[in-house]
Amino acid sequence: KKQKWWGEQSRFRVLTQIPRGRGTQAEQTAVLRTGACPGFTAAHLLLHPEVRSQVGRQRETPLYLQSRYQLYLAQADAQPTEAETAVWNQVNAVLEEAQTILAELQSYTGAGLEIREAIQNPNDLQLQEKAWNAVCPLVAKLKRFYEFSLRLENALRSLLEALTSPPYAPTQHLEREQALAKQFAEILHFTLSFDEFKMTNPAIQNDFSYYRRTLSRNRINNLQLDAESDVNNEMANRMSLFYAEATPMLKTLSNATTKFVSENKTLPIEDTTDCLSTMACVCRVMLETPEYRSRFTNTETLLFCMRVMVGVIILYDHVHPVGAFAKTSKIDMKGCIKVLKDQPSTSTEGLLNALRYTTLHLNDDTTSKQIRALLQ
């Protein structure tokens, strides 16, 4: 007999009568409405033992996903437990620096004028020196960005180890270690933000290309020696590969995730992909459900959720053998793409481009024509 969730039922009566996957989305959502059960919030749901025992059977229901979002993705004040503290402190130090990195990148103006003047007047040594003096501190800044990507890679690895280690399943980790899950989301938010700024700033590539050409020509010997002590040829080669990528930070994290999976052969790959697919699902549900989306207080929160969703999709596509676009994928790609396309193009075009150009399996035969058409 089908059980009702609402009416004049007490909080715990409602909690203990949740049907096992048989309710519609409207019915599942009804239990969260204040009219159905005053004082009841999504956070109460996972606290009840009867509900927790049904997690395995209800893993993909909108109610469960919404509840999980309330527990870890939207909580800016999630505090680490004692077991999380060591990893949390390591990652927090990286995230604090991330804000400075983003601010410096956003204000990066380049040395375009000085470079143009130097190129147009190759025999004017004063202009050559002026361009060199303008470029060198900018290249030092680009070096800091590159070195930060290595620290971000280490932070991501620490989080992956914490969120996928036995004996708990990834979904249990996301519930138990909410502070670390929040940090994982913040890393993805930073990564997509960094790459968006980089893609729209051609001065970065122009400055670095001029720097390398000048080093090769060896035309300003004294200044070249000073610069090489900070950015030598080997470092310049590594930086060149990094900035040649359209989305260098995302590429770094994708490689790091793939490496993590390949190096931990005793860890089932599903432990990593389930963690990523769950985060993608909760982001999609929060974005496409008006009741929950209305709680976003500003545009930046909306962008945060979209960037995290796209970030985990790309990581999933790099790690999973058949990728995120196959029919067997645990990520609803049609729903995720539709959510992005429903937003103003000014805020999502960069994210859609990331799905188009930084995923591995979009053009595979296993990708449906509908999904390909959505990303045209």
Assign 242 a pLDDT band (cuts: 50, 70, 90).
very high
Chain length of the chain: 376
Q: What is the model's pLDDT at position 214?
A: 87
CA distance 196 to 184: 19
Evaluate if residue 91 carries a pLDDT over 80.
yes
Q: What is the model's pLDDT at position 243?
A: 95
CA distance 118 to 317: 44
Q: Which residue has the tokens 């429903």?
A: 342
If asked whether residues 279 and 325 sit together in one domain, one would say yes
If asked whether residues 265 and 309 sit together in one domain, one would say yes
The residue-averaged pLDDT of 153-158 equals: 95
Q: What is the model's pLDDT at position 48?
A: 32
If asked whether residues 203 and 243 sit together in one domain, one would say yes
Any domain includes 361: yes
Between residues 178 and 105, the one the model is more confident about: 105
Cβ count within 10 A of residue 269:
15
List pLDDT tens digits, range 16-25.
Answer: 333 333 334 4
Between residues 78 and 90, the one the model is more confident about: 90
Q: What is the model's pLDDT at position 248?
A: 94
Q: What is the model's pLDDT at position 289?
A: 83
Where a domain ends, among 214, 247, 280? 247
Evaluate if residue 74 carries a pLDDT over 60.
no
If asked whether residues 262 and 118 sit together in one domain, one would say no
How does the average pLDDT of the chain come out, rounded? 78
The residue-averaged pLDDT of 168-178 equals: 81
Residue 269: domain span: 251-374
Radius of gyration, alpha carbons of the chain: 24
DSSP string, 110-144: -SHHHHHHHHH-TT-HHHHHHHHHHHHHHHHHHHH
If asked whether residues 319 and 198 sit together in one domain, one would say no
Evaluate if residue 139 carries a pLDDT over 60.
yes
What per-residue string of b and e applies to 322-351 under the rule 16 or more CB within 10 Å gives b? ebbbbeebbbbbeebbebbeebeeeebebb
If asked whether residues 109 and 175 sit together in one domain, one would say yes
Rounded to the nearest angstrom, the gap between the alpha carbon of residue 376 and the centroid of all alpha carbons in its chain is 23
List pLDDT tens digits, range 302-325.
Answer: 889 999 999 999 999 999 999 999
Assign 292 a pLDDT band (cuts: 50, 70, 90).
confident
Alpha-carbon distance values, 157 to 96, 256, 265, 271, 313 (Å): 18, 7, 15, 14, 17
Could you give the 3-state DSSP secondary structure of residue 63? helix
CA distance 173 to 139: 40
The candidate with the shortest Cα–Cα distance to 239, out of 205, 283, 262, is: 205
Torsion of CA 16, 17, 20, 21, to 10 degrees: -120
If asked whether residues 301 and 370 sit together in one domain, one would say yes
Alpha-carbon distance values, 223 to 118, 230, 339 (Å): 15, 11, 51
Any domain includes 288: yes
Between residues 276 and 38, the one the model is more confident about: 276
If asked whether residues 105 and 223 sit together in one domain, one would say yes
Evaluate if residue 360 carries a pLDDT over 60.
yes
Helix (H) / strand (E) containing 39? none
If asked whether residues 177 and 263 sit together in one domain, one would say no
Whole-model pTM?
A: 0.77
CA distance 116 to 114: 6
List pLDDT tens digits, range 23-70.
Answer: 344 433 333 333 333 333 333 333 333 323 333 333 444 444 444 444
List pLDDT tens digits, range 203-214.
Answer: 999 999 999 888
Where a domain ends, among 212, 247, 282? 247
Q: What is the model's pLDDT at position 77?
A: 62
Could you give the 3-state DSSP secondary structure of residue 78? coil
**Sign of the C-alpha dihedral computed for residues 350, 353, 358 and 359 taken in this order:** positive
Q: What contacts 73, CB < 8 A, 6 or more positions away?
A: 181, 182, 185, 279, 282, 283, 286, 305, 308
If asked whether residues 215 and 349 sit together in one domain, one would say no
Where a domain ends, among 247, 272, 294? 247
Assign 227 a pLDDT band (cuts: 50, 70, 90).
low
List pLDDT tens digits, range 326-356.
Answer: 999 999 999 999 999 998 878 888 899 999 9
Evaluate if residue 266 carries a pLDDT over 90.
no
Any domain includes 68: no
Q: What contacts 119, CB < 8 A, 6 or more positions away?
A: none
If asked whether residues 214 and 357 sit together in one domain, one would say no
If asked whether residues 213 and 273 sit together in one domain, one would say no
The candidate with the shortest Cα–Cα distance to 112, out of 201, 211, 207, 200, is: 207
The candidate with the shortest Cα–Cα distance to 112, out of 134, 137, 128, is: 134
Between residues 360 and 172, the one the model is more confident about: 360
Q: What is the model's pLDDT at position 271?
A: 86
Specify the number of domains making up the chain: 3
Min mean pLDDT across 9-13, 60-64, 162-166, 261-265 is at 9-13
Min mean pLDDT across 61-70, 86-95, 258-267 is at 61-70
Question: Residues 171, 267: contact at Cβ < 8 Å?
Answer: no
